[in-house]
């Protein structure tokens, strides 16, 4: 299946996030690789996703799971070769699957040759590629992001006897985007991969590119200028490619990253995600509708990227104190589940492995305005291992079968990059692709069905949204519309059956057709439209004038 | 479960939308437009401040207001308070209203609130009077926390009162309830109180809703139900109770609601109170209540006149209610000059107990029994005012305690005359 030539392909995409290391080990060394990923493309095609987002696979000391890059133009030897990547990319494209890759613009590893040269002497031509200072007092109004590990955004370099700036770990020095040579070189890096055929980038940590005294060094106009310049070059030389922003910010602060449709194509909606969990736990739509009311309009060519879980902790940064406390108390009673300002757990354990809630959350994810991103393994309800440090508990090997190493690798279990889950509830004998493929009503097959239903219409990706506010606050209801097509979505956020009366007078005369079973419901009249929903149940109705 | 058919379909629809709640605040109203808006806003702010995670609803049971009271309840919004005090709730906070009748009836209002509480499976409920303009956000936690967190079933308030405020309470309701039921509940028949869902359901299920006296004195019955059922009761300090000037004509309706309910409780609960002796304090939270000693103008002369007139005019009624020696003593003091007039604690207790027994035996219409007590109570008020005219707060408290002990000491007398002397 060839790639669609739609300029706005990302608006109707369904993204699957995966780290090559975690997916499938083709050579039996205990680490997933590109040949393995290539072999599993049939699975992803069958699931129905059409875009793969790859986490960093570049050469790296791996002190931050690859986000500490030591060479931008190559592949980490554990994952294969550039040729392996190229072959995987071709295979994906043949199946109509696009590939976007991670690009860490803000910083490199301290092992990157650029930094080694920069620190070597004051006169080195690459000295100004990083942010150096004789003191550690500059930009003192800037927050520290990794509070659990870092004391300062400055680190002392004994080699060059000065301080360097880092917003993340001290082994990740920030690049100096005031230097035109850095901007040019990073574009060259992106060009390298674009010429190979990648379809876009997830740009990591974009709010922090430029520093200015007297500011918090986040979201600065100079940073936006850098990003716009990259976008301009992208559009000129590589149309139909896409930039996705990782900026954990409030919606109003995120809006500038779309600019006039000439900066990012997409940005993650970070504040929405924890509020979806909150809404379902509270059985109340308030957190969700509140944050979406605060979400500004974005240019027509732009799109929000929505997700339930990803490779990081469930971030609670964009919450009020009272909301954060509630989330911790309800979703991370065991304090070892907490990390930085978040909860390091996967979707299924967060939802207590409740199939109804997992379906509801995915239903909301797939029906709100935006492009959904699914984290690998969540489609089969994989669990996590909170006994592994940092965020490694949500990065365990994909569980393909109940056999040797869960079908992930032929290596001795001791050689695996991380231990497989083996507990009775989430372990690979209980949760795996093989067994779920055999069961018609498995979560995996259900995920395939909801993806297929979503793909029957462009409304979910590109349509407008109008919230209905029925008096029953446990019901989250909205109408999605695009052209002549109208879809009514009704979600019961509570653990009890609910009756709701919807004001659908605007759609009087329409016949609701339930989109999964294609059953016809009573015609909409001039009175409140009564629906009953089971616990955590949801409906998608196509409203048809028949 | 009690019959809920008295709830309107519209109210049921609103309750369906509210769903299960943790906290329910009931506000019975009737033409309270002047005060209810601010009170509901304070309630909302109190919920946000102390119960931000809990599912909460404010239920207004209105008795046919014509001044827009229900609309004010529903539209009250805490946006301004929220902005100024950074209050925030995780959940939707509902305010709904229903008109239970075209004319006010406190019992029906309470029944409506109780039914809503049961249907919504409320864990903790509180009733707030729409006239309590002294309400603060702290009231919400003061009243509800013992229910919600400490598993009490009934929380009654205590207040700082003017020493001459609530004399019916201090001279009859409190001491008699204490003597009969053995618990030192200072405000047994309050307009503000909190209760557990299970106590609310128990009270709702009882069949007294069709009895006029029970409906009128529903708050009183409520407390007595809790006592009789062995529910856990405590009291919490709410601050100052503003003195409200009452008209003389208000006394009989007030006595019907309180004294009538107390008297009518004695029959079904006979086995409960006939064996209890003495009294015990109940858990109390918050500051110590104390009496306010501000000067207050009271027309004592008029009180004594009404007493004397009543004793004379109702002689035939009293002959049916009181024993001859008691009536003779009352007639004697009725003839005394004002400076020598004194309605002693002992005589007062004896009078009240004989009225209670007469009420039980229905020697005349029970409502007439209650009405006939009113002029005698005025005589007792006169004496109370005189005795405490120059007293300190401790003196007033001491006098009330003495009266309580007198009620306890003479309880055997009530038992003796309960079914009439042989």
Q: With 60 as the cut, is the pLDDT of residue B4 above it?
A: no
Both B283 and B308 in a single domain?
Answer: no
pLDDT digits (tens, 9 = 90+) for B64-93: 999 999 999 998 877 654 555 567 788 899
Residue B2 domain-assigned? no
Contacts of B89 in chain A (CB under 8 A): 286
Both A327 and A386 in a single domain?
Answer: yes
| Residue B216: C-alpha distances to residues A95, B46, B177, B255, B376 (Å) | 78, 30, 18, 10, 22
A285–B13 C-beta distance less than 8 A: no
Q: What are phi and psi of A90, to 5 degrees?
A: -65, -45
A473–B94 C-beta distance less than 8 A: yes
Both A219 and A135 in a single domain?
Answer: no
Per-residue three-class SS string for B139-162: HHHHHHHHHHCCCCCEEEEEEEEE
Task: Choose, from A84, A102, A110, A246, the residue flagged as catalytic.
Answer: A246
Residue A230 domain-assigned? yes
Both B119 and B227 in a single domain?
Answer: yes
Q: What are phi and psi of B60, to 5 degrees?
A: -100, 120
**A336-351 mean pLDDT:** 89
Q: With 60 as the cut, is the pLDDT of residue A213 above it?
A: yes
A473–B91 C-beta distance less than 8 A: yes
Residue bearing tokens 């967060």: A350
Both A482 and A533 in a single domain?
Answer: yes
Determine the pLDDT at residue A541.
98
Both B110 and B189 in a single domain?
Answer: yes
Sign of the four-CA dihedral A351, A354, A360, A365 = positive
Residue A173 domain-assigned? no
Both B407 and B311 in a single domain?
Answer: yes
DSSP H or E stretch at residue A511: strand A511-514
Both B283 and B155 in a single domain?
Answer: yes
Pick the residue of B9, B11, B54, B92 with the most A CBs within 10 A to test the interface with A by mutation.
B92
| Residue B214: C-alpha distances to residues B1, B7, B247 (Å) | 19, 19, 24
Both B140 and B21 in a single domain?
Answer: yes
Structural domain count of chain A: 3
Residue B49 domain-assigned? yes
Both B32 and B57 in a single domain?
Answer: yes
> A303-307 and A498-502 as β-strands: parallel, antiparallel, unpaired?
unpaired
B90–A282 C-beta distance less than 8 A: yes
Both A383 and A267 in a single domain?
Answer: yes
Residues B32 and B34: their CA atoms lie apart, in Å, by: 5
Residue B4 domain-assigned? no
Task: Choose, from A33, A38, A204, A263, the residue flagged as catalytic.
Answer: A204
> A538-544 and A511-514 as β-strands: parallel, antiparallel, unpaired?
antiparallel
Q: What are phi and psi of B223, to 5 degrees?
A: -60, -40
Residues A459 and A515: their CA atoms lie apart, in Å, by: 13
Q: With 80 as the cut, is the pLDDT of residue A48 above it?
A: yes
pLDDT digits (tens, 9 = 90+) for A90-147: 999 999 999 999 999 999 999 999 999 999 999 999 999 999 999 999 999 899 988 8
Question: pTM for the whole thing?
Answer: 0.84
Both A304 and A230 in a single domain?
Answer: yes
Both A73 and A118 in a single domain?
Answer: no
Residues A292 and B3: their CA atoms lie apart, in Å, by: 42
What residues of B are in the A interface, CB distance below 8 Å?
Answer: 13-14, 16-17, 19-20, 52-53, 55, 88-92, 94
Determine the pLDDT at residue A92.
98
Chosen domain end from B232, B260, B292: B292
Instruction: State the residue range of the domain holding A160.
Output: 113-165
Residues 425-484 of A with CB under 8 A from B: 470-474
Residue A358 domain-assigned? yes
Chosen domain end from B292, B321, B337: B292
Q: With 70 as the cut, is the pLDDT of residue A451 above it?
A: yes
Residues A218 and A397: their CA atoms lie apart, in Å, by: 35
Q: A99: which strand partners?
A: A52
Residue B220 domain-assigned? yes
pLDDT digits (tens, 9 = 90+) for B11-58: 999 999 998 999 999 999 999 999 999 999 999 999 999 999 999 999
Q: What angle do CA B337, B343, B349 make, to 5 degrees?
A: 165
Residue B164 domain-assigned? yes
Both A13 and A29 in a single domain?
Answer: yes
Both B274 and B305 in a single domain?
Answer: no
Domain holding B118: CATH number? Answer: 3.90.550.10
Q: How many contacts, defined by CB atoms under 8 Å, are there between A and B? A: 43
Give the pair of three-digit tokens for residue A299: 């240019």
How close A359 comes to chain B (CA, Å)?
23
Instruction: State the residue range of the domain holding B406.
Output: 300-417
Give the pair of three-digit tokens for residue B9: 């379909």
User: Which of A322, A326, A499 faces B16 most closely, judged by CB atoms?
Assistant: A499
Residue A422 domain-assigned? yes
Known catalytic residue at A6: no
Residues B224 and B243: their CA atoms lie apart, in Å, by: 26
Both B116 and B189 in a single domain?
Answer: yes
Question: What residue in B sits closest to A495 (Cα-Cα)?
Answer: B20
Strand runs (DSSP E) across A193-351, as ranges?
A: 200-204, 242-245, 266-268, 303-307, 314-315, 338-339, 342-343
Determine the pLDDT at residue B2.
44
Q: What are phi and psi of B293, to 5 degrees?
A: -105, 15
Both A396 and A508 in a single domain?
Answer: no
Contacts of B20 in chain A (CB under 8 A): 496
Determine the pLDDT at residue B247.
65
Determine the pLDDT at residue B1.
44
How close B90 comes to chain A (CA, Å)?
7
Q: With 80 as the cut, is the pLDDT of residue A32 above it?
A: yes
How close A94 comes to chain B (CA, Å)?
47
Give the pair of three-digit tokens for residue A509: 């005369």
Residue A190 domain-assigned? yes
Both B260 and B151 in a single domain?
Answer: yes
Contacts of A326 in chain B (CB under 8 A): 53, 90
Better pLDDT: B248 or B23: B23
Q: With 80 as the cut, is the pLDDT of residue B291 above it?
A: no
Question: What residue in B sits closest to A287 (Cα-Cα)?
Answer: B90
Residue A170 domain-assigned? no
Residue B321's Cα: distance from chain center in Å? 26
**A152-176 mean pLDDT:** 96
B91–A286 C-beta distance less than 8 A: yes
Question: What residue in B sits closest to A280 (Cα-Cα)?
Answer: B91
B90–A498 C-beta distance less than 8 A: no
ipTM entry: 0.73
Structural domain count of chain B: 2
Judged by average pLDDT, the poorest of A290-304, A317-331, A408-422, B284-298 is B284-298
Domain holding A133: CATH number? Answer: 3.90.400.10
CB B396 within 8 A of CB B290: no
A496–B91 C-beta distance less than 8 A: no
Residue A174 domain-assigned? no
Chosen domain end from A429, A454, A479: A454
Residue bearing tokens 């930094």: A115
Both B308 and B280 in a single domain?
Answer: no
Q: What is the mean pLDDT of chain A?
A: 95
B90–A286 C-beta distance less than 8 A: yes
Residues B198 and B195: their CA atoms lie apart, in Å, by: 8
3-state helix, strand, coil in chain A (%, to 5): 30, 20, 50
Both B214 and B267 in a single domain?
Answer: yes
Better pLDDT: B224 or A135: A135
Determine the pLDDT at residue B84.
52
Question: What residue in B sits closest to A330 (Cα-Cα)?
Answer: B53
Both A71 and A152 in a single domain?
Answer: no
B88–A473 C-beta distance less than 8 A: no
Contacts of A322 in chain B (CB under 8 A): 52-53, 88, 90
A322–B88 C-beta distance less than 8 A: yes
Chosen domain end from B248, B273, B292: B292
Residue A175 domain-assigned? no
Both A276 and A139 in a single domain?
Answer: no
Both A291 and A430 in a single domain?
Answer: yes
Known catalytic residue at A204: yes
Residue B236 domain-assigned? yes
Contacts of B98 in chain A (CB under 8 A): none
**pLDDT confidence tier of residue B290, bands split at 50, 70 and 90:** low
Burial B167-198 (b: 16+ CB within 10 A, else e): bbbbbbbbbbbbbbbbbbbbbbbbbbbbbbbe
Both A24 and A143 in a single domain?
Answer: no
Residue B323 domain-assigned? yes
Domain holding A100: CATH number? Answer: 3.20.20.80
B91–A284 C-beta distance less than 8 A: yes
């Amino acid at each position: 299946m060839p790639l669609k030539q739609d300029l706005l392909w990302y608006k109707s995409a369904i993204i699957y996030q995966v780290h090559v290391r975690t997916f499938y080990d083709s050579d039996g060394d205990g680490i997933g690789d590109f040949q393995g990923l290539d072999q599993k493309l049939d699975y992803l095609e069958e699931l129905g996703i059409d875009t793969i987002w790859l986490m960093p696979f570049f050469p790296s000391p791996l002190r931050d799971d690859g986000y500490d890059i030591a060479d931008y133009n190559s592949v980490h030897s554990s994952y294969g070769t550039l040729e392996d990547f190229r072959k995987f990319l071709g295979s994906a494209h043949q199946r109509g699957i696009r590939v976007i890759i991670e690009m860490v613009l803000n910083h490199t590893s301290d092992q990157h040759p650029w930094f080694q040269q920069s620190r070597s002497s004051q006169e080195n031509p690459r000295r100004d590629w990083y942010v150096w200072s004789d003191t550690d007092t500059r930009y003192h109004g800037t927050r520290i992001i990794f509070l659990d590990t870092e004391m300062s955004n400055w680190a002392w370099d004994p080699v060059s006897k000065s301080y360097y700036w880092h917003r993340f770990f001290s082994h990740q020095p920030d690049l100096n985007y005031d230097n035109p040579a850095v901007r040019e070189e990073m574009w060259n890096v992106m060009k390298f991969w674009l010429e190979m055929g990648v379809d876009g980038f997830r740009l990591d940590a974009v709010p922090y590119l430029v520093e200015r005294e007297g500011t918090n060094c986040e979201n600065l106009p100079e940073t936006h200028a850098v990003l716009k310049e990259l976008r301009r070059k992208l559009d000129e030389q590589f149309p139909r490619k896409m930039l996705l922003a990782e900026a954990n910010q409030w919606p109003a602060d995120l809006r500038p990253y779309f600019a006039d449709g000439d900066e990012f194509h997409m940005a993650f909606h970070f504040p929405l995600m924890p509020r979806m969990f909150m809404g379902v736990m509270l059985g109340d739509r308030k957190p969700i509708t509140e944050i979406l009311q605060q979400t500004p309009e974005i240019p027509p060519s732009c799109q929000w990227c929505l997700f339930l879980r990803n490779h990081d902790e469930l971030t609670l940064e964009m919450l009020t104190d009272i909301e954060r406390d509630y989330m911790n108390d309800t979703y991370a009673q065991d304090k070892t589940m907490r990390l930085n300002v978040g909860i390091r757990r996967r979707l299924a354990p967060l939802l207590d492995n409740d199939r109804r809630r997992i379906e509801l959350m995915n239903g909301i994810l797939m029906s709100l305005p935006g492009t959904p991103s699914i984290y690998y393994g969540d489609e089969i309800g994989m669990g996590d291992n909170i006994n592994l440090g940092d965020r490694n508990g949500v990065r365990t090997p994909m569980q393909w079968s109940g056999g040797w190493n869960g079908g992930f690798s032929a290596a001795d279990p001791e050689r695996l990059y991380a231990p497989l889950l083996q507990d009775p509830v989430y372990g690979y004998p209980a949760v795996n692709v093989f067994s779920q493929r055999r069961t018609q009503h498995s979560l995996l097959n259900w995920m395939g069905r909801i993806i297929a239903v979503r793909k029957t219409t462009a409304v979910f990706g590109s349509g407008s949204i109008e919230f209905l506010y029925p008096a029953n606050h446990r019901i989250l209801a909205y109408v999605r519309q695009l052209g002549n097509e109208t879809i009514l979505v009704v979600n019961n956020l509570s653990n009890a059956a609910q009756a709701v009366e919807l004001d659908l007078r605007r759609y009087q005369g329409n016949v609701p057709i339930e989109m999964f079973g294609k059953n016809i419901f009573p015609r909409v009249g001039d009175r409140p439209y009564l629906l009953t929903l089971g616990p955590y149940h949801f409906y998608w109705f196509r409203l048809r004038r028949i | 479960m009690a019959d809920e058919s008295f709830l309107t379909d519209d109210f049921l629809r609103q309750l369906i939308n509210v769903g299960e709640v943790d906290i329910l605040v009931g506000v019975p109203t009737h033409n309270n437009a002047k005060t209810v808006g601010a009170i509901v806003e304070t309630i909302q702010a109190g919920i946000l401040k102390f119960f931000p995670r809990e599912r909460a609803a404010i239920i207004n049971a209105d008795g046919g207001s014509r001044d827009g009271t229900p609309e004010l309840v529903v539209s009250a919004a805490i946006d301004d308070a929220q902005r100024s005090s950074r209050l925030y709730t995780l959940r939707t906070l509902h305010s709904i209203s229903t008109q239970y009748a075209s004319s006010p009836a406190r019992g029906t209002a309470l029944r409506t609130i109780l039914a809503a509480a049961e249907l919504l499976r409320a864990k903790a409920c509180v009733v707030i009077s729409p006239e309590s303009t002294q309400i603060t956000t702290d009231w919400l936690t003061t009243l509800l926390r013992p229910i919600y967190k400490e598993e009490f079933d009934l929380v009654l308030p205590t207040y700082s009162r003017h020493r001459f405020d609530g004399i019916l309470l201090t001279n009859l309701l409190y001491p008699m309830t204490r003597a009969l039921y053995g618990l030192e509940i200072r405000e047994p028949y309050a307009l503000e109180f909190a209760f557990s869902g299970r106590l609310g359901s128990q009270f709702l299920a009882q069949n007294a809703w069709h009895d006029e006296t029970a409906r009128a004195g529903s708050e009183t019955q409520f407390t007595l139900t809790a006592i009789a059922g062995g529910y856990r009761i405590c009291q919490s300090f709410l601050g100052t109770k503003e003195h409200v000037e009452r008209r003389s004509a208000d006394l009989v309706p007030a006595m019907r609601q309180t004294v009538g309910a107390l008297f009518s409780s004695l029959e079904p609960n006979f086995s409960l109170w006939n064996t209890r002796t003495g009294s015990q304090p109940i858990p109390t939270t918050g500051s110590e209540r104390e009496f306010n000693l501000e000067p207050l103008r009271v027309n004592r002369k008029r009180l004594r006149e009404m007493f004397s007139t009543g004793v004379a005019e109702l002689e035939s009624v009293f002959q049916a209610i009181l024993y001859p020696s008691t009536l003779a003593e009352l007639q004697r003091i009725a003839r005394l000059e004002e400076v020598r007039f004194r309605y002693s604690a002992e005589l007062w207790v004896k009078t009240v107990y004989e009225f209670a027994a007469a009420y039980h035996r229905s020697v005349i219409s029970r409502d007439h029994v209650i009405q006939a007590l009113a002029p005698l109570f005025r005589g007792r008020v006169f004496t109370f005012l005189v005795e405490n005219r120059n007293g300190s707060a401790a003196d007033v408290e001491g006098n009330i305690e003495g009266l309580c002990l007198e009620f306890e000491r003479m309880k055997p007398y009530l038992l003796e005359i309960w079914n009439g002397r042989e």
